[in-house]
């Protein structure tokens, strides 16, 4: 099985600013327990992984995303 490098979702869609209010998009990068996936899992570049993490944490504080899921 070859290791195929996926492009960054945010680079492909030309999204510069990741919005914490867009809970649907942010949930794509979290597992069912509410943990943030590592960059290798979805192929997110380092720049966008940092802003994605910050947006998810801000969304959790605002109550849009869960800290943990039962």
49: CB partners within 8 A, 6+ apart:
39
For residue 4, is pLDDT > 90? no
What integer pLDDT is reported at residue 3 of this predicted model? 60
> What's the rounded mean pLDDT across residues 2-6?
62
Give residue-wise pLDDT tens across range 10-52.
999 999 899 999 999 999 999 999 999 999 888 999 999 999 9
Which domains are delineated in the chain? 10-62 (4.10.640.10)
| 17, two tokens | 């600013």
Q: Greatest CA span in the chain, whole angstroms?
A: 42
| 49, two tokens | 């992984």
57: CB partners within 8 A, 6+ apart:
none
- The pTM for the full model equals 0.85
For residue 54, is pLDDT > 90? yes
């Amino acid at each position: 099985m070859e290791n195929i490098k996926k492009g960054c979702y945010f680079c492909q869609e030309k999204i510069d600013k990741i919005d914490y209010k867009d809970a649907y998009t942010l949930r794509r990068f979290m597992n069912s327990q509410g943990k943030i996936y590592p960059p290798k899992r979805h192929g997110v570049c380092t720049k966008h992984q940092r802003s994605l993490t910050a947006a998810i944490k801000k969304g959790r504080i605002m109550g849009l995303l869960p800290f943990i899921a039962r």
